[in-house]
Amino acid sequence: MAFDDIIKRIQEDAKNEANEIEKSAKKQADQILAEAQNQADQLFQELKLKAEQRAVEEERRIVTLASLESRKQLLQQRQNHIDTVFDKAFDSLTNLKDQEYKNFINSLLNSTIETGEELVIPPENGQFELTKQVIQELNKEKKSKLKLSDEKRNIAAGFILRRGKQEINCSLEAIMKNLRDGLETEVAQILFQEN
């Protein structure tokens, strides 16, 4: 073998070796690239799943908030209707005809007087005379000594009954508040019966 043949042989071996190294490097690069692509795909799928879960959770949260707000508005509307019912009842009681008002005061006095010597404090409005008439009639009928106070209170109707130092609020406002506390649920059931 001649020197030139040896050099050719070395060059061919070097070229073959370089080709093998290049093939091996390319194969390794392809494997690394495929692995990286796999990891990227897996990461993408995980992120996509998390984003979808967050979207579902956010949608659920928004729907829940909307539902709560809707219920809150419905309850407020219902409360407004209940308020209207009690306001109308209050208005109708403050606008009773004279005889009806006297009957109302008579009934209240009969249910609250104990000694027959109490002091009756009337409202500031024009029902003073009617209250006075009822007291006079009761005093005759029951031989009591109820007194009508010169003092007047800022109440819509009814009276304040003073027994010694104790005052019993028999104003229409107090009566309606007590009635409302007991009747509000019943009124709501009547107003909002669901078939």
Q: Strands 119-121 and 147-148, how do they pair? A: parallel
Q: pLDDT tens-digit profile of 44-62? A: 999 999 999 999 999 999 9
pLDDT greater than 70 at residue 194: no
Residue 16, pLDDT score: 82
pLDDT greater than 90 at residue 92: no
Q: pLDDT tens-digit profile of 138-161? A: 899 888 899 988 888 888 888 999
Q: Which helix (H) or strand (E) holds 4?
A: helix 3-94
The pTM (predicted TM-score) of the whole model is 0.60
User: What's the rounded mean pLDDT across residues 14-24?
Assistant: 84
Q: What are the phi and psi torsion angles at 192 (to 5°)?
A: -120, 35
Q: Place 95 in a pLDDT band, splitting at 50, 70 and 90.
A: confident
In terms of C-beta density within 10 A (0-12 exposed, 13-18 middle, 19 or more buried), how is residue 122 classed?
buried
User: What's the rounded mean pLDDT across residues 73-100?
Assistant: 87
